[in-house]
Structure 1
Amino acid sequence: MFWVLFLLLAWAGLLIACARLLKAAAEPAQPAPGTAAARHHHELNLYEAAYLAGGPERVAELTLLSMQRQRRLLLAYTGWATVVDPVGLDPYERSVLGAFGPDGQEPVTSVRAVAARDPAVRALADRLGEAGLALGDGAQREISAGIRSVRQATGLVIAMAVAALCVPAGQSTNTMILCWFALPLILALGCLAIARVEGHAQSAWASPAGRRLLVELGRERAMRGSLTAVALRGLRAVTEPELRAALTCGRRGRIPGQRGH
């Protein structure tokens, strides 16, 4: 029955890892009444929705698309952007315009990357974090670390099962030993499956309170092709093929040379 020690080690490692993941996932809960989140307005503006749904790059993409629809910026299907109106109406537009050189033309990928790192977007993230609507960097790291711990525990369970098969089992059969180790393995794989589904279904940037506001906004205003839909769902909500090409060009390969718009 020496293999039972390996089983206990497998359970111990797995339970510790699962507890870490559950703790990390439970921490970004909705704050109690009277906190900044409770006092936050009930409707998100588009920039806030874009950040909660897709992070800093989503804010930059929304700003680019908004300025293009106002004819203040031209986005070519080749992946280049050209400034038409050099005056920004808000901090996010100014962050986009600040990414252009003196000739007023830059690849969309470069503009998006620079705008996403702008202090205005960082301030937006801090404000949403203080309101309890966005996950802080620490919360995101803890959740990722918890998932890694469960993956490592899964490997530990398998290793302990192999070790258990290599020691004298007394009257226990290999089938019985594998059945006992199947229980922690099922739990580990179930946790990883749930974490994967939750990760696809929910934003990695929004807290539970923020996700509730995103759902409400989607029900009320997310018409196909609208800026609200883009803020919530990203570039897949862009209905114009040329605009989608402009915003996605360069993400999976080389950006074509600029030959004019």
Structure 2
Amino acid sequence: MWLLLLLAACTVTVLSCVHLVGVVAAADLSAEDDTRPPDGSVRIGLYETAYLAGGPERVVDLAMVLMAAQRRLHPAHTGWTTVVDPQGRDGMERDLITAVGPDGQCRTGDLRQALVESPAVREIGARLALAGLATPAAVRERAVDAVSRVRRSLLLTVVLLGACLGLGEGGGGQLPAVLSWFSLPLILGSGTLLMSRVDVRPYTRWATPAGREVLREVRIPGPGDERQLLTAVAVSGPSAVPDPLLRAALRAPRR
């Protein structure tokens, strides 16, 4: 019985590791083919900074903080967001107001989920990717999914090993053999994850190396500058918001 469970663990682990290697190889080839230098003509504003630092969700955080600071939006810690001024000043704000709906109020988690996929956010990501500053969304999604598969295969191996031991498969002097054979998929999966921290990590970040250079040049204004809070949120996320109620509102979970 334990041999069948071992076969399942080895099969899942090998397939997930091969898939991860294939994703990295494809991403490397794509990066080699795209030899264009980063486009320095792209304007890097607060929304672009937020995307490079934290992706679409950070852009949503910034838009909500900006409108809340101007008292045109009221994200409540109760989990609801209310539009105070229905006149959007840019594409991001117009998408936000549209996502809230005609009633002018909706659950914050639903709003955030809708905004992450909004046209304005996708346009920011696509423009930064074309400029060589952001990792293309498709590449990042494949890399993150491949790493998750290897992690799930490790968890499955541990579960199957526990099942073997729970069923008494290690009895009769077989315990050393069971542990030894199950160590193989565990070592393969763990080793692949360790290597992925070097080979895959660049493709799981929102910013490319050039984008991270841009982020390193960002300076948060000093006290008294109205852009201080917005820049801090763009770089660090909701943790930079001093108001605990607004922080709680921004962290409303998705439904």
TM-score range, shorter chain: 0.5 to 0.7
Q: Distance in 2 between matches of 1:144 and 1:34?
A: 23
Percent identity of the aligned residues? Answer: 35
Give 1:91 deviation, angstroms. Answer: 0.9
Q: Distance in 2 between matches of 1:148 and 1:117?
A: 24
2:143–2:203 Cα contact (<8 Å) kept: no
Letter in 2 for 1:66: L
Give 1:221 deviation, angstroms. Answer: 3.1
Q: Which residue of 2 aligns with 1:241?
A: 244
Q: Distance in 1 between matches of 2:7 and 2:150?
A: 17
Letter in 2 for 1:104: G
Mark the CA change 1:202 to 1:221 in structure 2 (over 3 Å): closer, same or farther: farther
Q: Which residue of 2 aligns with 1:20?
A: 19
Q: Distance in 1 between matches of 2:27 and 2:45?
A: 22
Q: Which residue of 2 aligns with 1:82?
A: 83
Mark the CA change 1:115 to 1:159 in structure 2 (over 3 Å): closer, same or farther: closer
1:229 aligns with 2:232: yes
1:45 aligns with 2:48: no
Q: Which residue of 1 aligns with 2:60?
A: 60
Letter in 2 for 1:237: A
Give 1:37 deviation, angstroms. Answer: 5.2
Q: Which residue of 2 aligns with 1:137?
A: 138
The answer for unaligned runs of 5 or more in structure 1 is 1-6, 167-172, 254-261
TM-score, with length taken from structure 2: 0.66
Give 1:135 deviation, angstroms. Answer: 3.0
Q: Distance in 1 between matches of 2:137 and 2:39?
A: 19
Give 1:234 deviation, angstroms. Answer: 2.2
SS in 1 for 2:136: coil
Q: Distance in 1 between matches of 2:192 and 2:142?
A: 18
Q: Which residue of 2 aligns with 1:189?
A: 190
Mark the CA change 1:111 to 1:11 in structure 2 (over 3 Å): closer, same or farther: closer
Letter in 1 for 2:125: A
SS in 2 for 1:87: coil
Q: Which residue of 2 aligns with 1:116?
A: 116
Q: Distance in 1 between matches of 2:63 and 2:42?
A: 22
Q: Distance in 1 between matches of 2:178 and 2:27?
A: 39
Superimposed CA distance per residue, residues 52-105 of structure 1 (whole angstroms, 9 cap, x where no aligned partner): 333323222210101222233333333332323x33222111111222444533
1:251 aligns with 2:250: no
Q: Based on CA coordinates, which of the two structures has the bigger radius of gyration?
A: 1
Total equivalences in the alignment: 243
2:61–2:250 Cα contact (<8 Å) kept: yes
Q: Distance in 1 between matches of 2:139 and 2:121?
A: 18
1:134–1:210 Cα contact (<8 Å) kept: no
Mark the CA change 1:226 to 1:121 in structure 2 (over 3 Å): closer, same or farther: same
